Structure formats: structure tokens, C-alpha cells
Structure 1
Amino acid sequence: MSDANLAAATAQIEAVRRGDKPAPMIRSFFDEPTNTATHVVHDPATLEAAVIDSVLDYEAASGRTSHSTAQQVVDYARGHGLNVVWQLETHAHADHLSAAPWLQEQLGGKLAIGAGIVVVQDVFGKIFNAGTAFQRDGSQFDRLFNDGDRFSIGGIEAIALHVPGHTPADMAYVIGDVAFVGDTMFMPDYGTARADFPGGDARELYRSIRRLLSLPRETKLFLCHDYKAPGRDYYAWETTVGAERDGNLHVHDGVSENDFVAMRTSRDATLSLPKLIMPSVQVNMRGGHLPEAEDNGVQYIKIPVNRL
């Protein structure tokens, strides 16, 4: 990963803080059943917007989908006259299904994810025996970001940073003077993401986190999940680089890479798989689309037995 790209992100943040560049406005929506925070970011001058990590409601027992959570995003965007130009995914989630294709139908916007999605597609395409019809080239997405790629939301500048470890495809998006860091880390009192999924790596995760924590201390970080740490009775998904460096349970300043890897490896060995991992990964590796219907016109989610 290039230090030049981190330096560019830092310069962008500092320019916004000086008032030389515009700052984004942010509205978050929290889905308690999946513990997921969806963020809508927009430029107040142009009203162009991005939706980050949307949620499709999925009832596991019946296999039914619905859009009540995503509808909140639609209502907010329409109510504020927003023009959605991006549907951003920080990674191929294993704990909720993406609503990006439905939101594209309602609001528009290009669907984007990290270029590492092709690794995820290759690994999980084999696990789910997706067959040759399933393209493993990221073509289900409109854009695949590499580390340092620039984009914009109206007059708000943004830069994508590759932060692998939780999965090979994880991206953080520095938009104006804030960063959307996906599952790399959680609130300081809860710690960090697991790294034991196929393609995950605790050592890479440590380096990705420390890279993000090299951004200016005042930088706001918006997280993808919260689970209420012991002793905290409310959900939270916004913190700062400084708060994470000073107090993150797993990776605060002073925690060495080897100590983190030992802790993360030991902890991950005790964790159960996310309850929606089977439908989530099959859908999200397809850009939020359900698998193709079979010859009876029905779409199916596969459950590999004794595989994961």
C-alpha cells in the first residue's frame, strides 16, 4: 500500500479543515437486526450523494426479502432532493445482504467496491459451486476501486484506500474530511473485526488499521457495525482516529503487530459464523443480486454442508 495515497488522503482532510475545500453532510441509518450502519453522504452545495453499505431485509426462516430498511434511505434522499451518484460497498459483507441494486432502481448511482472482490468471488464461487455462469471478474459492479483511486460527490473530493485483512476486498473511503472504514475496526470499547474468513489475515488487518490511524487525530471515522460493548446500552458508529488510537480495546497505540495477531487469532477461534453468512456472501459477491432463477423460475440460496 502506497504511503503517497495515505498522504493524499491526509492532505485532503487538512484542506477541508482549513476551509479550502467543502465538507460533506452525513446521515446514518442503523439496522438493529444486522447491527449495520448505512451512511448517506452528500455535498450540500450540489446535493450529489453516495450511499455506503446499504441493507436488504432478509428473513432467514422464510427466505423472504423486503425493503423497509432501504426505504428509509430512499425517503431521506428524496425528501432532501439528493441526486445519488454512488452506491458504495466497503466489502462483500458476511452479515447482511446489500440493497444496492434496489436502491439503484429507486435512486440511481454507480455501484462500486474494491478490486479485491475478484478474489472473494473466486474463493466463494468455488465454496458455493456457483458454476461457470457466475462471472468472477467483478463485472457485477460499475467500478472497482484500487488503492488511491479518486472520485467525487459533487464538489466533495474522495479517495479510496485498500485496507485488507477482514477480507481481501475491504476498502475505506475518505470523503472530504471523514473516513468510512467498514469492518476494519469498531468503537474503541468493542475492538476490531475478525480476520478468519477465507482470504482474511490478522497481520494484514493490523497494518490496515494502523494505516488508517495514521490519518489526522481529529478525523471522524464512520463504522459499518456496532454491537453494544459490555457496559454500554446504546448503539454508536461514529468515532475519531484519536479515540481509536488512545482507547481501542485491541489495537490502541502501543499494541504490537505480533500481540495483535496472537489476540485476534485466539479470539477468532471462539467465534461463531455470522447468522446470515450463507445468503449474504452469495448475494453480495454478485453485487447485491440474488442468484439466477433455476428452471422452475425460483431463486435459491445454497447451504454447503460441512464446508465452512
Structure 2
Amino acid sequence: MPSNYPVDMSVKPEVKAFFDDATNTISYVVKDPSSNKCAIVDSVMDIDYAAGRITYDSADEIIAYVEDQGLEVEWLIETHVHADHLSGAPYIQGKLGGKIGIGENITIVQDTFGKVFNEGTEFQRDGSQFDRLFRDGDTYQIGAMTCFAMHTPGHTPACMTHTIGDATFVGDTLFMPDGGSARADFPGGDAATLFDSIQKVLALPDDMRLFMCHDYGPNGRDIAWETTVGDEIEHNIHVGKGATKEDFVKFRTERDAQLDMPKLIIPSLQVNMRAGELPPADKDGRTFLKVPVNTL
């Protein structure tokens, strides 16, 4: 683990998880134990895709919790540009404040999908829709807690893992040990790069708590989202027990070729590359999402 990652295992943030059944996403409120300051990680905005209707039940649940606990939101963290759910960050920001942050390689994602969705020159591809673009090793504060961002690409170019005391939020870099790892076949993804990123996460202390962004209950088990570095090293079905990079790349490449695209990939990418905002309305006040044909 590089020396510019300031791990302090004595700091133990309070972590409250929120599971979104429609997208199998886990969002988190992460509280500084010494103050009322907190961050929200990977929030969800609800969409009825067939009806074209946006609602905010998932985000409202988080807002209610934050208000009931008397917390102050300092950060709204996006671990990456999600392809399977829409971000609720700007909606929550409008209610509770806080700054929206994502990895600096959001610009690569914006450039790629700005072209896919034919967004035109009015769509800014410089990450300016976000309040903070994190670089590898960057630090930030949640109350008295010093947090750091670690660049962990492979699933997407902009993936960041966030360590806050003894808690690390891995996004889609890892799943629970019996879930393995996320796909690496999206534009800008790469299985070999993902393997290297996972090794960076597994170089954290063995008792570091790891929090997943998704879980699908493999083999019928209950949904789970918390494990440890040591448990992943020992039991992860894709990278545990000394799995080699060559074997991982072979498995991941073959497996990804069999996977369908996420059902919400079309709306998710258009919204999330805009920091959770919908595309601009037309002159009549109507908002549309595009469906590229023979592109994705």
C-alpha cells in the first residue's frame, strides 16, 4: 500500500446502510463518531423505466435518517459512474447540503458517453458538474476524520475506493467473498487493471472493514454488504487464496462475454455522468433520455 494513503484504524466511523431492492444497491451514511458530521456514499434516485417516472423514495429514506439523527452532511460521494442505478446526490444535496465528489477520470467517462449519446458541445466534459474531482491519494475531512481516495480502475476508468478510518467503501471494485468481482467489459474497463486495483484494496490491513456497493445474495443467502480485507483474501471466489492475474483475466473476460447489459444502463449513464442531474429540458419544459441504437 503506498505511503500516501493515511490509514488510521483507531478511527471507527458509524456506518448506516440502506439497501435498494430494485437495483441491489447499498447506500451508506458514514458518521464521524466525535461529531454530527457525515457523508453519504452512492445514493439512489428511483426510476420507473417503463413509465418514464422519477421518484425519490430511496433518497427520502436517507434524508429522514440524517434529519432524525441531527447530522450535518459534508460530502456526497460517488464511487464511480454507476451503470445500474441513478444517483440521488443532487436531490439530497438540495435538501441537506454537502459537496458531490467523484474520481477525476469522470472526464474520460463523460467524453466516451457524451459521444455515445450525441450530447453535443453544450454538454461539458470537464467534470464541472461535480464539486470535487478526487485524485489518487487525495484526502478530505468528515468532521475530525481524515479520509482518502484511492484510484481503483478496471470496472470503469473513474472508480475510486474511499477509506474512512477502519471502513473502506469499494464501489464495484469488489463484491462479497462469495460474489467475487464486478464486470470489466464496459467502455474503459479492463480485467487486468481491475485485478491490480483489487490488490491495492487487499493491501489494506486485514481487519479493515469493507463495504460493498452491490450484493445479489448468491446461492440464495441473505443480502450482505460488510466484510473485511482478511476475509476477501481468504475466501473471495475470484481473487482469494493467491489467485493469479492470468487466471483472473481469463475468467473475467469469458464471464463478461456472457453477461447482459444492466437494465438501467441507458438512463443511468446519461444521468450519472451529469452528477445525478437529468438532461436539460427542451423549450417546452419536457425532459427526455436518449436510446442509442446499435451503439451500446
Which amino acid in the other structure matches residue 288 of structure 2? Y
TM-score, L = length of structure 2? 0.98
**What percent of counterpart residues are identical?**
54
Which ranges of 4 or more aligned residues in structure 1 deviate by more than 6 Å?
none
TM-score, L = length of structure 1? 0.95
How many residues in Structure 1 have an aligned counterpart in Structure 2? 296
| Equivalent residue, structure 2, for 1:140 | 129
Q: Is the 8 A contact 1:91 1:113 kept in 2?
A: yes
List runs of 5+ in structure 1 lacking aligned partners.
17-21
| Equivalent residue, structure 2, for 1:246 | 234
List runs of 5+ in structure 2 lacking aligned partners.
none
Q: Deviations over 1:168-224 (max 9, x none)?
A: 000010001110000001110111000000000100100000110011111100000
Tell me whether 1:268 sits opposite 2:239 in the alignment.
no
Q: Deviations over 1:265-302 (max 9, x none)?
A: 00000000000000000000000000001122111100
Q: Deviations over 1:228-248 (max 9, x none)?
A: 11142x100101101110010
| Equivalent residue, structure 2, for 1:257 | 245
**Structure 2 counterparts to residues 13-92 of structure 1, below 5 A:** 13=9, 16=10, 22-92=11-81
Counterpart selection for 2:224 from 236, 248, 256? 236
Matched residues in 2 for 1:163 and 1:149: separation?
13
Please state how far the C-alpha of 1:119 moved relative to its aligned partner: 0.3
Counterpart selection for 1:159 from 119, 142, 148? 148
Which amino acid in the other structure matches residue 34 of structure 1? T
Instruction: State the SS of the aligned residue for 2:75.
Output: strand
Matched residues in 2 for 1:307 and 1:161: separation?
31
| Equivalent residue, structure 2, for 1:203 | 192
Which amino acid in the other structure matches residue 158 of structure 2? A
Matched residues in 2 for 1:284 and 1:104: separation?
15
Q: Is the 8 A contact 1:24 1:43 kept in 2?
A: yes
Instruction: State the SS of the aligned residue for 1:182.
Output: coil
Which amino acid in the other structure matches residue 299 of structure 1? T
